[in-house]
Structure formats: C-alpha cells, structure tokens
Amino acid sequence: MASTFAVLADPHRREILDVLRAGERPVNDLVDWLALTQPAVSKHLRVLREAGLVEVRRDAQRRLYRLRAEPLAEVDAWLAPYRRMWERSLDALEERLDGMDG
C-alpha cells in the first residue's frame, strides 16, 4: 500500500481532501470541483480510501466520502524534528529585518 506521503504527492488528491474538510461529499460534487472525469475521481478516491484518508458511506445510489485525518499524523510526526529548523531560520530573518532600519 502506498505511503501517506506518496498519496499526498498528487495535487488532485490534496484538493479532494481540502474539499472534504468542509464535510462529506458525494463523488459528483468532487467531479464538478476538480476538472476531471468521474472515473479519474473515483480512482483517486480509491487510493485515498486504501490509505485510510477517507471513508465512504452509502446514501442510496450515492457514496458519501468523508475525511479521515488520522494518517496525516504520521506526516506531521516526520515533519516535527524539522520544524525547529525552519523556525530558527525564519527567526534569524526576522531579526535581520528588525535590525535593518529600526
């Protein structure tokens, strides 16, 4: 199964997650939102589902997809040790700017 990182590599998939942040949506809503054919969207949803990033619920003929953020914690955890590094760089930049004509 693809890693969460690999799943997030595709911009369309990130966009799907962004849309689902507002609440569950049927496939067709997502098709309208992204400029993609319905099968393409379904394929992305399958990848997201297999990665545990979305869940499905049936509503008559429709399938309502909902966000599952938990796997993103893994990404956040990987990122954690780096956070202090770019924060340090930004602080330094800020200090330089403060010193400039203050």
Partner DNA sequence: CGGCAATATAGCCATAGGAGCATATAACCT
Partner DNA sequence: AGGTTATATGCTCCTATGGCTATATTGCCG
Give the footprint of DNA on this chain (CB under 7 A): 2, 6, 9-10, 12, 26-28, 31, 36-47, 56, 58, 60-63
Backbone angles phi, psi at 9, to 5 degrees: -65, -30
For residue 62, the partner it binds in a second copy, DNA, none, with Cβ less than 5 to 8 A by kind, is DNA
Residues 51, 65 contacting (CB under 8 angstroms)? no
For residue 83, the partner it binds in DNA, a second copy, none, with Cβ less than 5 to 8 A by kind, is a second copy
Angle between helices 11-20 and 38-50 (to 10 degrees): 80
User: Which 83-102 residues touch a second copy, going by CB under 8 A?
Assistant: 83, 85-86, 89-90
